[in-house]
């Protein structure tokens, strides 16, 4: 049984709630719990007396929050279905990519549960391969009534829609917090590397082993505020080349004319020539990633690739976490970073 369920959760293993969480996980796996009367002297609070009161209160509050996040549905319905439903529907696939560490941790915390993950983009589903008891559905956003019905039929239900671009906290941590799990980026990195090995993709024709990946394609017309115009990346290309590093341009084939002109300055123009899996491999093996605040920068961060990221309309703290090998350029010329994406009605 313990091989299936584990023992106490690693993030709730001290000072209350750890036993309740463990008991519910055992019941979720289909086991019953019986009461056995054992003569045993229990000295209450003997260990917690060693912890300062303020620290203990913080631990209690965190544990209570985790417990309610995981088992709030049970406390309302008093039934367990061993099912978890997640809807991650966003126009930006990078938002879904950022959920990978939390989903892997959720899988560890509920090892026997059947997890259904609904995403909008077919291609992003590949990063969730080889996760036990996880099924991926492809589709648009569910109606509120459809989601409510699935919520009633699940032990847990979670919905990520288009994220708020005014957030200052790391998106991956926000998702993990909402799911009541730890944010462990290294877990996602190991999973992604295992997938690349499993896919056994063709060797990349990089010529030199030293290469940088450049991504300056905004793709969506409402995102001009992500950084400077593509032409301003030309100087960066020159600096990288002087260091003996090749530059590979990536992006969509439908990128603007200015992006195509920039790609011609690179050693290799891969606009529209890489599928999603090949892009993962290309960025994972790169010496450097240079790009705007977009999906590919999340790939670089999760693989630990050295990164120079260009930001405009969003704050770097909400997207980056590998600060030991990451530098940032901010486009401070935007009049208001916080409200760039908010829509205001006339005279409101």
Q: Determine the angle formed by the axes of helices 100-109 and 171-179, rounding to 10 degrees.
A: 20
Chain CA centroid to CA 279, Å: 17
Cα separation, 7 vs 25, in Å, equals: 9
**Of 150, 171, 173, the residue nearest 161 (C-alpha):** 171
The predicted pLDDT at position 288 comes to: 97
Backbone angles phi, psi at 89, to 5 degrees: -115, 110
The predicted pLDDT at position 26 comes to: 77
Using 50, 70 and 90 to split pLDDT, how confident is the model at 75?
A: confident
Contacts of 49 (CB under 8 A, 6+ apart): none
Could you tell me the domains of the chain? 1-31+59-200 (no CATH), 204-330 (3.40.50.2000)
pLDDT at 45 over 70: no
The predicted pLDDT at position 343 comes to: 43
Using 50, 70 and 90 to split pLDDT, how confident is the model at 291?
A: very high
The alpha carbon torsion through 127, 128, 131, 134 (nearest 10 deg) reads -170
User: Which of 101-110, 154-163, 336-345 comes out lowest in average pLDDT?
Assistant: 336-345
Q: What angle do CA 120, 195, 216 make, to 5 degrees?
A: 60
**Of 87, 79, 88, the residue nearest 152 (C-alpha):** 79
pLDDT tens for 208-264 read 679 999 998 865 555 555 656 777 789 999 999 999 999 999 998 888 888 899 999
**Of 213, 189, 208, 237, the residue nearest 289 (C-alpha):** 213
Calculate Rg over the CA atoms of the chain.
Answer: 23
Cα separation, 178 vs 182, in Å, equals: 10
User: Which of 42-51, 128-137, 312-321 comes out lowest in average pLDDT?
Assistant: 42-51
């Amino acid at each position: 049984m313990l091989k299936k369920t584990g023992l106490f959760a690693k993030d709730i293993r001290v000072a209350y709630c750890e036993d309740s969480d463990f008991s519910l996980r055992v019941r979720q796996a289909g086991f019953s719990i019986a009461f056995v009367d054992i003569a045993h002297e229990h000295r209450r609070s003997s260990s917690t007396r060693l912890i300062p009161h303020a620290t203990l209160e913080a631990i209690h509050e965190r544990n209570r929050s985790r417990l309610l996040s995981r088992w709030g549905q049970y406390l309302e319905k008093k039934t367990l279905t061993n099912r978890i439903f997640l809807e991650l529907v966003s126009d930006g696939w990078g938002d879904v990519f950022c959920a990978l560490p939390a989903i892997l941790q959720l899988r560890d915390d509920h090892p026997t549960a059947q997890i259904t993950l609904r995403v909008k983009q077919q291609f992003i589903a590949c990063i969730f391969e080889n996760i036990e008891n996880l099924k991926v559905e492809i589709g648009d956003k569910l109606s509120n009534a459809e989601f409510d019905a699935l919520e009633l039929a699940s032990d847990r239900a979670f919905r990520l829609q288009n994220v708020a671009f005014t957030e200052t906290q790391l998106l991956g941590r926000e998702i993990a917090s909402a799911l009541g799990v730890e944010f462990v980026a290294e877990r996602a990195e190991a999973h992604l590397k295992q997938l690349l090995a499993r896919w056994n993709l063709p060797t990349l024709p990089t010529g030199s082993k030293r290469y940088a990946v450049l991504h300056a394609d905004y793709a969506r017309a409402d995102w001009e505020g992500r950084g400077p115009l593509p032409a301003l990346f030309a100087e960066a290309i020159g600096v990288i080349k002087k260091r003996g590093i090749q530059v590979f341009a990536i992006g969509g084939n439908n990128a603007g004319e200015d992006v195509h002109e920039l790609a011609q300055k690179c050693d290799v123009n891969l606009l529209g020539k890489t599928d999603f899996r090949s892009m993962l491999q290309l960025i994972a093996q790169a010496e450097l990633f240079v790009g705007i605040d977009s999906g590919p920068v999340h790939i670089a961060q999760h693989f630990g690739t050295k990164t120079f990221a260009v930001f405009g309309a969003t704050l770097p703290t909400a997207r980056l976490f590998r600060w030991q090998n990451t530098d940032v350029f901010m486009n401070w010329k935007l009049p208001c970073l916080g409200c760039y994406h908010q829509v205001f009605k006339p005279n409101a």
